[in-house]
């Protein structure tokens, strides 16, 4: 039986999302995908990369792929899109783009929850545009978490993981101020993160994941000299996780722990994934290694969701020079996850090969 198609949401209409979606399609890397967005926006972006444009086929449902002519990109236009999106200037924050991005995400979640799609890949949105549209969520992760909840039900616990071929990092806190993030680093939050990693990561860790937990303070607190969060919060959470059979270790100094989980040829690294306490603690190391092939995966959702690890790139939007590599990696990861074999890092490391 043919797997259900993936849905690719268009992202911000005046960012690089439309262009990289088209580039991924032209490279033949978006097979069995349906774009959720405004066809006119894609047509404008198509002229950036091909004077003859890219043929589009508007569909009413993801299952209509069989009716799409060869070589055409299937596009599903959700209800509620503002008018005139394709006439807006490139690279400028606009509430209409925020409203359109939210409508595409909402439509995609409804379709995947109805069993009409195998997962969602989201092109970048702009948080200012989202806020200008009156959308109360600070980003994709929080919006998807809310949309995944049953009416009147509790929000599913989710975590952000950023992964590339060398490093995987899961965050305890995400889009909040640093001051607020420190308040949110609780024993239960750390333990819940470790449980989510344990449940979600084994398929691409070659077995139960070996988790390195980063500290919050310099030198992981240096025995309490630089803060006691490691002793009072993080270490007890790790101890509880280990009692539950989770292979977690730490807390380690956050300025060096990532080197112990970096996948490199010829090295048998001791850890498969790092859990970091705050957004920048965890994402700077991953992005420093290169955003070109990074994938953002939302762990804990009842459906597959991935995205590129970069933003809307307003500074280059409309110039026809955007690189689709990270989106391609996100699509390939989602395809593997939808098949039940998640693989944000497509090549096994030497240590994985040693473990068989």
CATH code for the domain of 281: 3.40.718.10
Q: What is the three-state SS of 20-31?
A: HHHHHHHCCCCC
Q: Distance from first CA to last CA of the chain, Å, rounded?
A: 30
Domain span at 340: 1-154+301-356
Domain presence at residue 240: yes
Tell me the average pLDDT across 210-221.
94
Q: Reply yes or no: is the peptide bond before residue 172 cis, omega within 30 of 0.
A: no
Instruction: Tell me, yes or no, whether 55 and 129 share the same domain.
Output: yes
Instruction: Give residue 351's pLDDT band: very low, low, confident or very high (50, 70, 90).
Output: very low
Q: Residue 277, class by beta-carbon neighbours within 10 Å (0-12 exposed, 13-18 middle, 19+ buried)? A: buried
Structure tokens belonging to residue 209: 């994941």
Q: Which of 289, 309, 330 is the last residue of a domain?
A: 289
Structure tokens belonging to residue 184: 């949110």
**DSSP characters over 167-180:** -EEEES--SS-HHH
Tell me the average pLDDT across 176-187.
95
Half-sphere CA count of 85, side-chain side, radius 13 A = 27
List pLDDT tens digits, range 143-167. 999 999 988 888 999 999 998 888 9
Instruction: Name which residue leads in pLDDT, 50 or 89.
Output: 89
Q: Are 352 and 210 in contact (CB under 8 A)?
A: no
Domain presence at residue 244: yes
Instruction: Tell me, yes or no, whether 180 and 149 share the same domain.
Output: no
Query: pTM, whole model, 2 decimals?
Result: 0.85
pLDDT of residue 202: 63
Q: Does residue 195 have a pLDDT over 50? A: yes
Instruction: Tell me, yes or no, whether 106 and 193 share the same domain.
Output: no
Instruction: Tell me, yes or no, whether 83 and 144 share the same domain.
Output: yes
Domain presence at residue 296: no
List pLDDT tens digits, range 255-275. 999 998 898 766 667 899 999
Instruction: Name which residue leads in pLDDT, 226 or 31.
Output: 226
The percent helix, strand, coil of the chain (3-state, each to 5) is 40, 15, 45
Instruction: Name which residue leads in pLDDT, 208 or 186.
Output: 186
Average per-residue pLDDT for the chain: 89
Instruction: Tell me, yes or no, whether 3 and 136 share the same domain.
Output: yes
Domain presence at residue 135: yes
Whole-angstrom distance, CA of residue 275 vs CA of residue 218: 16
Q: H or E segment at 109?
A: helix 95-113
Q: H or E segment at 237?
A: helix 235-243
How many domains, the chain? 2
Percent of the chain whose predicted confidence (pLDDT) is above 90: 68
Return the closest-CA partner of residue 116 out of 36, 30, 13: 36
Instruction: Give residue 64's pLDDT band: very low, low, confident or very high (50, 70, 90).
Output: confident
């Amino acid at each position: 039986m043919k797997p259900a198609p993936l849905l690719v949401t268009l992202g911000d209409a005046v960012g690089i999302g439309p262009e990289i979606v088209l580039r991924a399609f032209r490279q033949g890397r978006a097979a069995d995908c349906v774009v959720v967005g405004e066809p006119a926006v894609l047509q404008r972006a198509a002229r950036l990369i091909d004077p003859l444009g890219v043929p589009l086929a508007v569909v009413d449902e993801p299952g209509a792929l069989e009716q799409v002519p060869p070589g055409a990109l299937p596009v599903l236009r959700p209800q509620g899109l503002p008018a005139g999106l394709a006439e807006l200037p490139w690279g400028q924050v606009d509430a209409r783009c925020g409203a359109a991005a939210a409508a595409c995400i909402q439509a995609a979640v409804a379709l995947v929850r109805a069993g009409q799609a195998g997962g969602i890949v989201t092109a970048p949105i702009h948080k200012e545009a989202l806020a200008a549209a009156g959308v109360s969520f600070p980003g994709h992760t929080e919006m998807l978490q809310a949309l995944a909840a049953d009416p009147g039900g509790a929000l599913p616990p989710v975590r952000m993981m950023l992964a590339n071929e060398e490093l995987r990092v899961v965050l305890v806190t995400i889009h909040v101020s640093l001051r607020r993030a420190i308040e949110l680093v609780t024993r239960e939050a750390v333990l819940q993160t470790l449980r989510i990693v344990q449940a979600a990561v084994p398929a691409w860790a070659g077995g139960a994941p070996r988790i390195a937990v980063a500290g919050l303070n310099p030198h992981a607190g240096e025995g309490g000299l630089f803060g006691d969060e490691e002793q009072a919060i993080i270490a007890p959470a790790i101890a509880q996780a280990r009692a539950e059979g989770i292979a977690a270790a730490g807390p380690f100094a956050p300025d060096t722990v990532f080197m112990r989980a970096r996948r490199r040829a010829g090295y048998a690294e001791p850890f498969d994934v790092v859990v970091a306490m705050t957004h920048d603690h965890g994402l700077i190391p991953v992005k420093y290694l290169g955003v070109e092939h990074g994938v953002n995966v939302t762990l804990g959702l009842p459906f597959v969701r991935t995205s590129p690890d970069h933003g809307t790139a307003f500074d280059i939007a409309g110039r026809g020079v955007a690189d689709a590599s990270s989106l391609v990696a996100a699509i390939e990861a989602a395809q593997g996850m939808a098949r039940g074999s998640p693989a944000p890092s497509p090549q096994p490391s030497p240590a994985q090969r040693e473990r068989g």
